[in-house]
Structure 1
Amino acid sequence: MSVDRLAPGLAYHVVNTLGWRNLRPLQSDAIEPVLRGDDAVLLAPTAGGKTEAAMFPLLTAMEQQRWTGTSVLYVCPLKALLNNLLPRLQAYGGWLGRRVELWHGDVTPSARQRILTDQPDVLLTTPESLEAMLVGNRVDHERFFAGLRAVVVDEVHAFAGDDRGWHLLAVLERLTGVCGRPLQRIGLSATVGNPAELLEWLQGSGRGTRTSTVVAPQIGGPAAEADIELDYVGSVDNAATVLAALHRGEKRLVFCDSRALVEKLGTALRERGVTTFLSHASLSVDERRQAEAAFADARDCVIVATSTLELGIDVGDLDRVVQINAPRTVASFLQRLGRTGRRPGTVRNCLFLALDKKSLLWAAGLLRLWGTGYVEPVTAPPEPRHIVAQQLLALCLQQNSVGTELALDAWNGLHPFDHGSRPILDHLLEEGFVDRDGELMGIGPAAEKRYGRRHFMGMTAVFTAPPQFRVFEGRREIGLLDPSLLTDHVEGPRLILLAGRSWKVSWIDWARQRCFVEADERGGRARWSTGGLGGASFALTRSVRDVLLGEDPPVRITARATTVLAEARDAERHTVHPGGTLVVREGTDLRWWTWAGFRANATLASTLSSLVDGTQRVNDVSIRIRSDLTREHWAAGTADAGERLCLPEVDDRALDGLKFSDALPHRLAVATLAARLADLGGATSVLAESVRFAQVDDR
């Protein structure tokens, strides 16, 4: 039995306390590589036993090799996920007399002091909290991390796809320097399209020098027994009516693509007498915890959530997952689908409810793409120069003073934090972000002014969140609100929607960004600004095009969805052609229907700037062309375009969303954002296709 390869005390409790006759395939297959010390990525669907696959052999190694001190870090992207994991991991560690503790922003100072005084064997934390431990003066990090041996990165795909991943890699390299040894790195992930590349990325500076293993015994195509249905409902009210009528007596998790939609749907469900809970990032921690705990213990209820519940937070045994409209990626859909079908005799299921014709079309495109077995590759955002600047400043805080020539060695040669980043360091010195005293440098006055509030806490987060007001009912915090709802002109009382309830704003504290509310039954509004570059991918947009050309996703489609899909195909028939792309004149409007996704279209618009109507922004599916363009001009302008692709142009205002961009030379900040807006591969594919010209008669 594979369980016999674990430490005896652990094996005993796996069999007798957990009641497991044996381990799952992933857990069994992970034992040998993890015990050998391999870097690894462990892949399995949601609830596939990834945590145990990593921690059981690590706890075994801890016993066999007599590790002491804090020897394992368990890193998660969400504090809620850490809170959820703590009791389970404390039980596993306790079976061997080992302690597991938690450290993040919500942990009290007294609890942190106990951890510093009596170190646990395993510490659950976030990258931001690790950074704070390294740069703060309350933690003797050289002593605290002296025994560190391994790092488990849960939901590693969620890190790798954005700047938090670059930040995590850089912090791990600095930890390697602090503890004086390479750290074993184990990533836990749901299904991704490129697991080997994800593992190489996770290895950081150890890439190519350390043994690595991908463990993925359950990875395959789309779930063969998944029960997926696509329906069209046309409005939030209709969606609420359907949800209130269907699947009574069952526990349902409903995903929405925005916080405002969560609020609107949650309110509509409560109006129909459905026991409803809400979860999204702008609700207070207490509000979310109460909702998730109540939902976990209840039956015949609904929880409406954004992607906050997409990751592995335990909300009990679900019967159904419902998706309003569609997520942006197949990988996200797989995460959500994996929340169901855990009980014996049940299958994974998901009901898609489209609120409008466009959403129905994109949901069909996503499901068609899923049906091909496609899963998006996880790729780190290119050119993270702003993270390099942040890390140089963090190193100055960590060491107080550091040799100017030695500073760039702190990341063990990991690109882009290596000596190639010297221009960024020179800029920090020139602008006063870093001070120089002979051969040593430390934090400078410009950095203290910009980031020094609350002991440089702003240095530990690598993204810029839109400003929001904290909302209170008396002393109880309810959540966060977009400030535009407090400045819009309204007639009568100012009413808002938050936590699925209506409130009247009674007082606004502009200086402290707080507002106070009281319950009101007259209905309100919900709105939040969205950050990020947005836009659909090339693969998804092309799949939507294939749906328009007649392909159906391999799922059940209701009669009304079939009717609306036929209407969408008819309405868009002039924009798609199986033989290539179309340039269509409709009145005075000339548009190139590329169906290539936002980034590819932005790249094409920049490359073909002499042909493009520069007054219009590109979108996912088309680019507006100059109305006086002729076929001859088109042929001449596109003849060598594939050999001279340009990065998209960047509006300086967009730099506000790139945290630490003000610590970069302006040209490098612009170049960073331009690289992230580009899809050179998608643009090249489009330029290689035939182009047809057509005209739509005015109606």
Structure 2
Amino acid sequence: MSAGPPDAGPPDGGSSCAGPSRAADALHPVVLHHIVNTLCWPGLRPLQEAAVGPLLAGSDALLLAPTAGGKTEAAMFPLISRMTTAGWRGLSVLYVCPIKALLNNLLPRLEGYAGWTGRRAALWHGDVSAAQRGRILRGPPDILLTTPESIESMLVSMKVDHRRFFAGLRAVVVDEVHAFAGDDRGWHLLAVLERLTRLAGRPIQRVGLSATVGNPRELLGWLQGSGAGNRPGKVVAPETETPSVPVPGRTARGGTAVSPTVSPAVSPTVSPMTPPAVPPGDVELDYVGSVSNAAMILATLHRGEKRLVFCDSKRLVEEIGHALRARGVTVFLSHASLSADERRRSEQAFAEARDCVIVATSTLELGIDVGDLDRVVQIDAPATVASFLQRIGRTGRRPGSVRNCLFLTLDEDALLQAAGLLHLWGQGYVEPVTAPPEPRHVAAQQILALCLQEHRIGDRTWQEWWNGLGPFGAPAAPILRHLLACGYLDEDGGMLFIGPEAERRFGRRHFMDMTAVFTAAPEFTVLSGRKEIGRTDPALLTEEVEGPRLLLLAGRTWRVTYIDWPRRRCFVEPADGHGRARWGGTGYGGLSFALSRAMRSVLLGVDPPVRLSRRAAERLAAVREDAPGVVHPGGTVVTRNPGTGDVRWWTWAGFRTNTTLAATLEGVAVPGQRVDHGSVRLRDDLTSEMWRTGTAGAAGRLCLPDVDEKALNGLKFSAALPERLAVATLAARLADLDGAAAVLAEPVRWSVRS
């Protein structure tokens, strides 16, 4: 029987479960017995105790605590108690995670907890075999661990009687809820939950778990979906109540936010003169200048310890892994383009080893247990404070240890970004989680998926499946008309059903492309014999090379021996030398307003509240020496370089703000430019008079950015939208109107750079 991970229970001195005044006494007696006698816990953590009442009462809830704060137990102990007391039958609880590896990691714990009361837990995702799925369908478990895409696949599958299978559903737990809410997977999740609510014929309790959010009340309202404002609830904050950061277009809703320890959010515009308080933890910022130097430090520093190294690209994971292996370091890799078996072997070996390093992207950010970890190292910098908090939270779980993170930056841009991020962290800032605006393509997907699920839907009743959830109701009517006009849907006698165009575009593999709302870049599967190593960008297989074609994958070099173009596979064998790694991307992100302004503060003299290595301090001083021409404490700066004629407006306002400004200042900004987070290129013949004329009243006529048609390829199901709506959707996501208005209101200083 599972005893749970050591970090799930209470710290020394935790509250006793025995006293009659304790919330734990409301749990089912069998659950309480096993907490005391099987897990040997002296009590519950504050979060776990505070969650008992609201969850037993059926309230929706958002449970917030740092990584390893016992959130899973805080949700599941009351729900298993309620399940047992109320006599729930069949599949009654869904436990939803953003990644399969986290589900795999959680299964043994939840199997153990469910078994206390004679209940069962099971797993369903894309790597689960057909035989295992068949057993689940024949005898549904009480708790099913799954992903939103797998729920969708069950709803549209001819092999699943979804009405019978989901008839007893009572509650849904969404782990790492912030990872859903910030992108289109969140809209997909909400839409699927509304369809499940209609199938079950009752409200479904929604419980979100998260470690790092800056706007908990708004996130709870988002999770409640159509039930926000209608379902009873209250805010529970056992230790500190967290101020919320407003989300445009959303107000706080009913529900329960349970948060024992959450840092207060602050304004994203951080004053360069504000001395930050030093947050807890051992954090150091270093400048190393190259992958080779980073690998040398990793190979020699903290020998004998278990180190987790985060990189923010798969290519960099491969480069660091290869360099470490060349230095004789026991190293494992984890990223999304490695095969599931390869990742699983790496994670299991790392969990059992001691003197070793695992190099990973964000795949290991979300709470997966990798054993007794000593150190976290960050190569360059993540894009958000929330991500950093997840990563540093992997350490300091043993009694007497502290959370720690060493930043190794490879160039000056990364050094400045890391310093800005740590400055925000020192201010207690955590980004608000906001859903992407105008998810029209997700609405198109949902209409088609509903037709697959029900076979036929009424042309006047289809909106009822989403219970009034905004994007999927009346705003989706023009999308429905387009689907009919283009043959994605057919109509007969007032009933709608899948049309030939949907069959042609999305019908492959029994409409499996319909179950996910994100677009994966096309990749070739790489095999060594029959063993799958992972996947690679096809560009590496088509570009001209001299000599053998060498790939870098799983931290090793492989020579391509054969390419199976029709089946998108390539066969390899081990080789010496240094192969190449590459993966395309479809994102349209960039650094935020808050982080860009924090980087500006660093250039103006603010040091982050961490230890700076001598190399980092010297390089940061050199960067600041060049900064006076591009930053000024009194506002933004326009520079003209006499040698190149380059004219730039240094806003330090983030990618989306600068994209909006470039679109708005037609006749002043260079058209069609590639914008970055720091500046906007202006016409080389710009005069101060032209500037005054071009910017006058601009805050009142802000424009959405222009959209490259190629960028629409990254918006899955955009083909099922009228082109104007697809373009409008992407333009809205590229824009930051509030940031642009704020920048236009600031004073501008003109400077000539030599």
* Partner of residue 355, structure 1: 410
Query: Take 1:73 and 1:333, find their aligned partners in 2: how far apart are those partners?
Result: 29
- Counterpart of 1:5 (choices 19, 26, 29) is 26
Partner of 1:242: 297
For the residues of structure 2 that align with 1:546 and 1:224, how far apart are their CA atoms? 18
Letter in 2 for 1:226: G
- The Cα shift of 1:220 comes to 2.5
State the match for 1:137 in structure 2: 158
Counterpart Cα distance in 2 of 1:127 and 1:537? 28
Alignment of 1:244-643 (within 5 A): 244-587=299-642, 588-643=645-700
Pick one of 673, 695, 699 that aligns with 2:730: 673
Q: Does 1:214 align with 2:257?
A: yes
* Counterpart amino acid of residue 197 in structure 2: T
Give the distance between the partners of 2:638 and 2:280, measured in 1 at CA: 42
Which whole-Å deviations, capped at 9, do the CAs of 1:85-124 have from their partners, x for residues lacking one? 0010000000110000111111111111111111111111
Question: Aligned with 2:471: secondary structure?
Answer: coil
* Separation of aligned partners in 2, 1:220 and 1:406: 45
In 2, distance between residues paired with 1:323 and 1:135?
41
Tell me the residue number matched to 1:179: 200
Maintained 8 Å contact 2:466/2:473 = yes
> Structure 2 counterpart of 1:410, which letter?
W
Once the two structures are superposed, residues 191-222 of structure 1 have per-residue CA deviations (whole angstroms, 9 ceiling, x without a partner) of 20000000000000001001210000121259
* 2: CA distance, partners of 1:307 / 1:327: 9
TM-score by length of 1: 0.99
String of CA shifts for 1:660-694, please: whole Å, max 9, x gaps: 00100110000000000001111111001000111
Instruction: Provide the rounded CA distance (Å) in 1 between the counterparts of 2:381 and 2:218.
Output: 27
Partner Cα distance (1:493, 1:153) in 2: 47
- 1:656 equivalent among 692, 713, 722: 713
* C-alpha separation in 2, matches of 1:482 and 1:360: 29
Distance in 2 of aligned mates of 1:597 and 1:220: 24
Provide the C-alpha distance between the structure 1 equivalents of 2:447 and 2:749, rounded to a whole number of angstroms: 52
**2:397 counterpart letter in structure 1:** R
CA distance in 1, matches of 2:40, 2:293: 45
**Structure 2 residue matching 1:96: 3-state secondary structure:** coil
* Counterpart position of 1:156: 177
Aligned-partner Cα distance in 2 for 1:215–1:129? 28
Residue 44, structure 1, aligned to residue 101, structure 2: no
Alignment partner, residue 743 of structure 2: 686
Q: Is 1:118 aligned to 2:139, yes or no?
A: yes
Secondary structure of the residue aligned to 1:302 is strand
Structure 2, unmatched stretches of 5+, are: 1-16, 233-254, 265-276
Contact residue 409 and residue 419 of structure 1 kept, 8 A: no
Tell me which of 702, 705, 725 is aligned to 1:645. Answer: 702
Compared CA separation, residues 177 and 615, structure 1 to 2 (3 A): closer
Alpha-carbon separation, structure 2, partners of 1:160 and 1:413: 19
Equivalent pair of 1:279/1:304 in contact (CA under 8 Å):
yes
- Offset at residue 126 of structure 1 (A): 0.5
Counterpart of 1:33?
Answer: 54
In the alignment, the residues of structure 2 paired with residue 628 and residue 233 of structure 1 have an alpha-carbon distance, to the nearest angstrom, of 40
| TM superposition shift of 1:531 | 2.0
The CA distance in 1 between the partners of 2:362 and 2:627, in whole Å, is 31
Is this contact kept in 1: 2:278–2:426, CA < 8 A?
no
- One-letter amino acid of the structure 1 residue matched with residue 744 of structure 2: L
Asked whether the 8 Å contact 2:279–2:426 carries over to 1, the reply is no
The question of whether the paired residues in 1 share the 8 Å contact of 2:278 and 2:610 is answered with: no
TM-score by length of 2: 0.92
User: Which of 90, 94, 100 is residue 121 of structure 2 equivalent to?
Assistant: 100
Deviations 1:458-508 (A, max 9, x none): 000101111000000000000000111111111000011100111100000
What one-letter code is carried by the residue in structure 2 that aligns with 1:629?
L
Deviation at 1:527, TM superposition (A): 1.0
Q: Is the 8 A contact 2:286 2:409 kept in 1?
A: yes
SS of corresponding position for 1:42: strand
SS across alignment from 2:562: strand
User: Quick one: distance in 2 between partners of 1:534 and 1:122?
Assistant: 36
Q: Which stretch of the first structure deviates more once superposed, 443-452 or 4-13?
A: 4-13
State how far apart, in whole Å, the 1-side matches of 2:624 and 2:544 are: 40
Structure 1 counterpart SS, 2:581: coil
Q: 1:499 to 1:420 in 2, by over 3 A?
A: same
Aligned-residue RMSD, C-alpha: 0.9
Identify which range, 538-547 or 13-22, moves more after superposition.
Answer: 13-22
Secondary structure at the residue paired with 1:12? helix
| Structure 2 CA distance for aligned equivalents of residues 108 and 558 of structure 1 | 50
Asked if 1 retains the 8 angstrom alpha-carbon contact of 2:586 and 2:711, the reply is no
- Counterpart residue identity of residue 687, structure 1: L
How far residue 421 of structure 1 moved from its aligned partner, in angstroms, is: 1.4
Q: Contact between 2:287 and 2:411, CA under 8 Å: does it hold in 1?
A: yes
| Cα displacement (A) at 1:573 | 2.1
**Cα gap change, 1:123 to 1:473, in 2 (>3 Å):** same
Equivalence for 1:14: 35
**CA offset at residue 629 of structure 1?**
1.2
Q: Distance in 2 between matches of 1:396 and 1:370?
A: 46
Cα separation, 1, equivalents of 2:466 and 2:722? 22
For 1:55 and 1:318, the matched residues in 2 are separated by: 26
Indicate the larger mover: 564-573 or 50-59.
Answer: 564-573
Residue 10 (structure 1) shift:
1.1
Q: Residues 223 and 29 from structure 1, CA distance in 2 versus in 1: closer, same or farther, beyond 3 angstroms?
A: farther
- Work out the CA distance in 2 between the residues paired with 1:442 and 1:311: 39
**Local SS of the residue matching 1:574:** coil
Secondary structure in 2 aligned to 1:466?
coil
The answer to whether 1:199 aligns with 2:220 is: yes
What is the alpha-carbon distance in structure 2 between the residues aligned to residue 519 and residue 273 of structure 1?
17
Distance in 2 (CA, whole Å) between partners of 1:41 and 1:179 is: 22
Q: Which amino acid aligns with 1:356?
A: D
State the number of aligned residues: 697
Shift of 1:223: 8.1
Corresponding position of 1:87: 108
The one-character-per-residue Cα deviations of 1:608-645 (angstroms, maximum 9, x if unpaired) are 01111114221111011011111011111111011111
Query: 2:614 & 2:151 partners in 1: Cα distance?
Result: 53
Separation in 2, partners of 1:571, 1:96: 66
Between the aligned partners of 1:269 and 1:522, the Cα distance in structure 2 is 14
CA shift, 1:225, in A, is: 2.6
> Which segments of structure 1 move beyond 4 Å, counting only runs of 4 or more?
none
SS in 1 for 2:357: strand
Residue 223 to residue 185, structure 1, CA distance change in 2 (3 Å)? farther
